[in-house]
């Protein structure tokens, strides 16, 4: 499976592509950090991200695009820029017909380091080891994008199977409930037809 990981951001946006499988060895395909000037118009910055994501999807043909799920921070401007960049990645993937997976930062850290509260240095160190790199990916946005891709490679298929099992279970419960309701209704109708003997 090939996963394109996106660590969204307006000024620096990590884009990493990794090949691998569930629990197996991962290999680096590509990593880059897309930069947009902080003083540029927001529309131009988002368009630049759109073009970079589109080029990456077309060049590497990922099976899935994994994007960091935006969470609330104290700095609203940072959250807004992150959310906007993440939304562009989602739109590009949807336009290309590529499935999207969202992963929280703590989920990514736990998958890569075993600790959901790991710092950026720990994530970078583990990404470097897991991919067998001789040089750590820099800046941290690059390592974070690769960590997202690795997280999805290792957890995505399991999450998909769990979701499918939950959906199948919900359908089975609904079918059973419908049968019980039909039986109760049939019994009620049968009782209503029985003549009263006095």
Out of 19, 107, 141, 144, which one is annotated catalytic? 141
Query: What is the residue range of 86's domain?
Result: 2-161
3-state DSSP helix/strand/coil % of the chain, to nearest 5: 60, 15, 25
- 194 in any annotated domain: no
**Model pLDDT for residues 41-74, shown as the tens digit of each residue:** 999 999 999 999 999 999 999 999 999 998 766 6
pLDDT digits (tens, 9 = 90+) for 99-145: 999 999 999 999 999 999 999 999 999 999 999 999 999 999 999 99
Phi, psi dihedral angles at 12 (to 5 degrees): -130, 125
Examine residue 169 and state whether it is found in any structural domain, yes or no: no
> How many CA atoms, within 13 angstroms, populate the side-chain half-sphere of residue 63?
12
Q: Is residue 134 in a domain?
A: yes
Alpha carbon distance 35, 31 (integer Å): 13
Tokens standing for 30? Answer: 């590509």
| Confidence class for position 165, pLDDT limits 50, 70, 90 | low
Q: Which residues of 71-94 are buried (b: 16+ CB within 10 A; e: fewer)?
A: eeeeeeeeeebbebbbebbbebbe
Residues 177-187 have a mean pLDDT of 81
7 counts as catalytic: yes
Distance separating alpha carbons of residues 91 and 89, to the nearest angstrom: 5
Give a yes or no: residue 198 inside a domain. no
Residue-wise pLDDT tens digits, 4-13:
999 999 999 9
Q: Is 141 a catalytic residue?
A: yes
Residues 29-33 have a mean pLDDT of: 98
For residue 82, give the CATH number of its domain: 3.30.420.10
Q: What is the pTM of this model?
A: 0.79
Count: domains in the chain: 1
Q: What is the reported pLDDT for 163?
A: 47
Whether 39 is catalytic is: no
């Amino acid at each position: 499976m090939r996963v394109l990981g996106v660590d969204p951001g307006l000024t620096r946006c990590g884009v990493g592509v990794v090949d691998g499988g569930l629990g197996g060895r991962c290999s680096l395909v590509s990593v880059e950090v897309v930069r947009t000037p902080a003083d540029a118009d927001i529309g131009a910055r988002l368009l630049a991200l759109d073009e970079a994501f589109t080029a990456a999807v077309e060049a590497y043909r990922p099976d899935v695009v994994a994007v960091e799920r935006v969470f609330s921070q104290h700095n609203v401007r940072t959250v807004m820029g992150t959310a906007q960049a993440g939304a562009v990645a989602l739109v590009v993937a949807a336009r290309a017909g590529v499935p999207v997976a969202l992963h929280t930062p703590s989920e990514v850290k736990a998958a890569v380091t075993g600790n959901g509260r790991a710092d950026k240095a720990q994530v970078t160190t583990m990404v470097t080891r897991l991919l067998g790199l001789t040089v750590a990916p820099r800046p941290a946005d690059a390592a974070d994008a690769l960590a997202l891709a690795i997280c999805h490679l290792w957890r995505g298929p399991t999450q998909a199977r769990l979701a499918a099992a939950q959906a199948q279970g919900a359908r089975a419960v609904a079918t059973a409930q419908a049968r019980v309701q039909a039986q109760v209704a049939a019994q009620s109708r049968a009782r209503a037809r029985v003549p009263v003997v006095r």
